[in-house]
Chain A
Amino acid sequence: MSVEAQQGIATPRIPAGLGGLLPALTLIGLFFVVPVLALLLRSVTDPSPGLQNYAALLGDGTYARVFFNTFLVAAVVTIVTVLVAFPVAWMLAIMPAALASILFGIIILSMWTNLLTRTYAWMVLLQRTGVINRALIGAGIIDQPLPLINNLTGVTIGMVYIMLPFMILPLVGTLRAIDPMTLRAAALCGASPLAAFRRILLPLSLPGIAAGGLMVFVMSLGYFVTPALLGGTSNMMLAEMIAQMIQSLLNWGLGSAAAFILLVVTMALYALQLRLVGSKRAAGGA
């Protein structure tokens, strides 16, 4: 039925559309396709034709560690973001709509606040003599300041904070579609709160977790500002490495190759998610 409907609409549009699409196609080609191709070309021609840039990146232990670290940070950030976002999203999904929209406003306001400002704010909070360490020492909970900055902890805290809205928004959409009565029904069926969460709420919210999780993971893979300011030299991420290669070492070939690898990984993850979500949809519609 949908195929017919699509054809019915699409058939008269195609001839007229092609000409009309030209400006858009030109724009996309000029500003998106050409640069990516130039990047790819650069990575296999600079300084000389061949795959030596890729060989260097994939063969060298130092670079491999940066790749590993990039995926580690992205994975940790994604997992922590899901864990923090879920209860918030659930609360937003079940609370009265008027109150929820105020809280949504606050979350979105934080998204609109300058990224650099928010990251510097975390520096102030997390550093050795920062607010958090002073408060903890003042309260007598710790003697020595906790190492909260220039390491994985700092990067994770800063990035989770920035990524939360990207996780909460899709998740609230998914959770709102779940009838709270379903959970009451599960309780009367004998499911403890934990069993109801594991067997009902979690499976039903998986599409939202997958959508938000992928977005957070992909954004985290290429993140620059927060890891650069809150991370340490020992856990450099790919974006920082690319910046160094191009800015300091002026090695455009190597930088392009690294950027291209990141792009391919991101696209592969996106394709994977499309397949997973796509097959879920098909099963749901059967």
Chain B
Amino acid sequence: MTQAFLSIRKLHKAFGAFTAVHDVTLDIPKGEFLTFLGPSGSGKSTTLYAIAGFQDPTSGDVLLQDKSLLSVPSHKRNIGMVFQRYTLFPHLSVAENVAFPLRVRRRPEAEVKRKVADMLSLVRLENFAERLPAALSGGQQQRVALARALAYDPPILLMDEPLSALDKKLREEIQAEIRRIHRETGVTILYVTHDQEEALHLSDRIALFRDGRIEQIGTGEDLYLRPATDFVAGFIGNSNFLAAEHLETVDGAATVRLADGSLVSGINANGSFQRGQKTRLMIRPEAFRLDQGSNGAKLAVEIVDVAFYGERRRIVARTGAGQEIDIRPTSTALAAQDVASSHRPVFFDPGAAFLFPA
């Protein structure tokens, strides 16, 4: 507990009758890149704002190196932040924007100059020092905001959906910049986004928020390969949910009966289920194969549509029970005309399928 750098303790925030954050507890080690992922209204931004000092939590605490931050006003928290919209100071040049936190700290002029030069080279905007923010593109403005937030070497950098106002190409470019800057500075980053790809790409760990609670926290692989709940499975990556009746579970491996009557065993059971209980079987689209392999479970489907997506094919298929599922085998697995044959079995590894309560 005590080795945690930043610690969120039972943080609770209510707006009137609406509870935005329910007793969130979280420990963040120094240097970690942690992403708060979740749909809008899930409490991720509210948690971030409590750390920034923009919103006082109803109860709970935020500790930085074992000292509570709550009684410290925003301007004394020494936290860096990059916002969703560009919040550069429009009347100050790029260099003066980056210098601003140093000037309000009354640092000597020589240090300000050196630090501004360092920061502008960190975000690769050395040649834009004298421009006003209005003369920069959105991506450039967000890089200046990043330089400004890092200029005073804050122990923590908060980023509130910093890329959501940018187009896709710029987003990917700045994501790479953020990764590089995290690597080079070692700053602890708390990053808020609703974009799961962005979260998977950037983070060391992801805290997935739902209705003000953390549904699951772990690495991207944990969340993708070992989802704790059907919400996690549905939010991270793509997933198919098939209705299934639970028959028995032995050593965490469940056997179920699908709606078309076929039996599948060796499934990961998340939780304990009764015999005959209605459940949902989650299978990733890319976990389906077109050849049986060594231990593939079989599912009879009717092919509805086949589309070519480069490295993968995207197949829409209908199960015997009439449910449409999404299948994405690698393109090289079979030729298009073979795939398109109307009725055929598809296969999946039961070890890559998960059982959740219905």
Q: Residues on A close to B: CB < 8 A?
A: 179, 181-182, 184-193, 195-196, 199-200, 203-204, 284-286
> Is B185 at the interface (CB under 8 A from chain A)?
no
Question: Which A residues are CB-close (under 8 A) to B175?
Answer: none
Whether A185 pairs with B132 at a CB distance below 8 angstroms is: no
Question: Which A residues are CB-close (under 8 A) to B134?
Answer: 284-285
| Given the contacts A181-B85, A184-B74, A185-B81, A191 and B104 also touching, CB distance less than 8 Å | yes
B75's partner among A179, A191, A286 (CB-CB below 8 A) is A191
Cα-based distance from A187 to B49 in the complex (angstroms): 13
User: Which 8 residue pairs are nearest across A and B when measured between Cβ atoms?
Assistant: A189-B101, A185-B87, A187-B74, A191-B104, A187-B75, A188-B81, A181-B87, A190-B104
Q: How far is the CB of B5 from chain A (nearest CB, A)?
A: 18
Question: Which B residues are CB-close (under 8 A) to A186?
Answer: 89, 100
Instruction: Across the interface, name the chain A residue whose C-beta is closest to B89.
Output: A200
Instruction: Across the interface, name the chain A residue whose C-beta is closest to B154.
Output: A188
> Is B352 at the interface (CB under 8 A from chain A)?
no
Q: How far is the CB of A166 from chain B (nearest CB, A)?
A: 25
> Is B186 at the interface (CB under 8 A from chain A)?
no
Which residues of B from 80 to 104 have beta carbons under 8 Å from A? 80-81, 83, 85, 87-91, 100-101, 103-104
Whether B78 pairs with A179 at a CB distance below 8 angstroms is: no
Q: What are 11 A-to-B residue pairs whose CB atoms are below 8 Å? A: A184-B83, A188-B77, A188-B80, A189-B152, A190-B104, A190-B152, A191-B101, A284-B91, A284-B134, A285-B134, A286-B135
Cα-based distance from A254 to B73 in the complex (angstroms): 62
Whether B85 pairs with A190 at a CB distance below 8 angstroms is: no
Q: How far is the CB of B48 from chain A (nearest CB, A)?
A: 11
Instruction: Across the interface, name the chain B residue whose C-beta is closest to A206.
Output: B91
Cα-based distance from A190 to B74 in the complex (angstroms): 8
Cα-based distance from A125 to B70 in the complex (angstroms): 48
Instruction: Across the interface, name the chain A residue whose C-beta is closest to B152.
Output: A190
Cα-based distance from A110 to B88 in the complex (angstroms): 38
Q: Residues on B close to A: CB < 8 A?
A: 52-54, 73-81, 83, 85, 87-91, 100-101, 103-105, 132, 134-135, 145, 148-149, 152
Q: How far is the CB of B135 from chain A (nearest CB, A)?
A: 7
| Given the contacts A181-B85, A182-B89, A284-B132, A189 and B54 also touching, CB distance less than 8 Å | no
Q: How far is the CB of B94 from chain A (nearest CB, A)?
A: 13
Majority SS at the chain A contact face? helix
Instruction: Across the interface, name the chain B residue whose C-beta is closest to A191.
Output: B104
Cα-based distance from A179 to B90 in the complex (angstroms): 10
Whether A189 pairs with B77 at a CB distance below 8 angstroms is: no
Question: Which A residues are CB-close (under 8 A) to B54?
Answer: 184
| Given the contacts A284-B134, A286-B135, A190 and B75 also touching, CB distance less than 8 Å | yes
Instruction: Across the interface, name the chain B residue whose C-beta is closest to A177.
Output: B90
Instruction: Across the interface, name the chain B residue whose C-beta is closest to A183.
Output: B87
Q: How far is the CB of A206 from chain B (nearest CB, A)?
A: 9
Question: Which B residues are CB-close (under 8 A) to A192?
Answer: 75, 104
A203's partner among B91, B101, B135 (CB-CB below 8 A) is B91
Question: Which A residues are CB-close (under 8 A) to B100?
Answer: 186, 189, 191, 199
Whether A185 pairs with B83 at a CB distance below 8 angstroms is: yes
User: Which of B85, B90, B132, B149 has the most chain A CB atoms inside 10 A of its CB?
Assistant: B90
Q: How far is the CB of B180 from chain A (nearest CB, A)?
A: 23
| Given the contacts A189-B104, A191-B100, A184 and B87 also touching, CB distance less than 8 Å | yes
Question: Which A residues are CB-close (under 8 A) to B104?
Answer: 189-192, 195, 199
Whether B81 pairs with A179 at a CB distance below 8 angstroms is: no
Cα-based distance from A192 to B104 in the complex (angstroms): 8
Question: Which B residues are CB-close (under 8 A) to A188?
Answer: 52-53, 74-75, 77, 79-81, 149
Whether A204 pairs with B85 at a CB distance below 8 angstroms is: no
Question: Which A residues are CB-close (under 8 A) to B78?
Answer: 190
Cα-based distance from A160 to B303 in the complex (angstroms): 79
Instruction: Across the interface, name the chain A residue whose C-beta is closest to B135.
Output: A286
Whether A204 pairs with B91 at a CB distance below 8 angstroms is: yes
Question: Which A residues are CB-close (under 8 A) to B77?
Answer: 188
Whether A190 pairs with B87 at a CB distance below 8 angstroms is: no
Instruction: Across the interface, name the chain A residue whose C-beta is closest to B105.
Output: A190
Question: Which A residues are CB-close (under 8 A) to B90?
Answer: 182, 204, 284
Cα-based distance from A285 to B134 in the complex (angstroms): 8
Cα-based distance from A200 to B104 in the complex (angstroms): 11
Question: Which A residues are CB-close (under 8 A) to B135?
Answer: 286
Cα-based distance from A189 to B151 in the complex (angstroms): 9
User: Which of A182, A189, A191, A286 has the most chain B CB atoms inside 10 A of its CB?
Assistant: A189
Other A-B pairs, 13, CB within 8 Å; known A189-B75, A204-B91: A187-B73, A187-B75, A188-B77, A188-B80, A188-B149, A189-B104, A189-B149, A195-B75, A195-B104, A196-B75, A199-B103, A200-B89, A204-B90
Instruction: Across the interface, name the chain A residue whose C-beta is closest to B100.
Output: A189
| Given the contacts A188-B77, A188-B79, A190-B101, A182 and B87 also touching, CB distance less than 8 Å | yes
Question: Which A residues are CB-close (under 8 A) to B74?
Answer: 184, 187-188
Question: Which B residues are CB-close (under 8 A) to A199?
Answer: 89, 100, 103-104
